[in-house]
A and B are shown apart, each in its own frame.
Chain A
Amino acid sequence: MLHIYCPFCREERDEEEFSYAGEAHIQRPLDPESLSDEEWGDYLFFRTNAKGIHHEMWYHIAGCRRYFNVTRDTLSYQILESYLISQQPGVRAKQTASAEQGEQPNAN
Chain B
Amino acid sequence: MSSSIETPLHYFHGQQTGSGDAQVTIFESPLCGHLNLRGNPQDEQFLEGVESVVGVKPPTTAGSCASSGDISIYWLGPDEWLLLLPESRRAEVESELRNKLSGHFSVVDVSGGQTLLNVRGDGVADMLKKSASYDFHSNNFPAGRCVQTHFAKATALVSKKDDGSFDLVIRRSFADYLASWLLDAGEEFGCRVVGGGEV
Contact = CB atoms under 8 A, between A and B. Distances in A.
A20 to B, nearest CB: 16
B62 A62 contact: no
Interface in A61-91: 62-66
Interface string A1-44: 00000001111011011000000000000000000000000000
Interface residues of B, number: 13
B112 interface: no
A25 B120 CA distance: 46
Given A62-B149, A62-B150, A14 B133 contact: yes
A10 B106 CA distance: 24
A25 B149 CA distance: 27
Nearest to B133: A14
B155 interface: yes
B150 A8 contact: no
Contacts of B86: none
Nearest to A9: B62
Contacts of A9: 62-63, 147
A62 B133 CA distance: 12
B148 A64 contact: yes
Contacts of A62: 148-150, 155
B134 interface: yes
A8 B133 CA distance: 19
Please classify the interface of chain A as helix (H, G, I), strand (E, B), loop, or mixed, using the class held by over half of its residues: loop
Contacts of A66: 77-78
B149 A8 contact: no
Contacts of B148: 62-64
A64 B78 contact: yes
B76 interface: yes
A8 B77 contact: yes
B62 A8 contact: yes
Contacts of A8: 62, 77-78
A10 B62 contact: yes
Interface of B: 62-63, 76-78, 80, 133-134, 147-150, 155
Given A8-B62, A16-B150, A64-B78, 13 more contacts: A10-B62, A13-B134, A13-B149, A14-B133, A14-B150, A17-B150, A62-B150, A63-B147, A63-B149, A64-B76, A65-B76, A65-B80, A66-B77
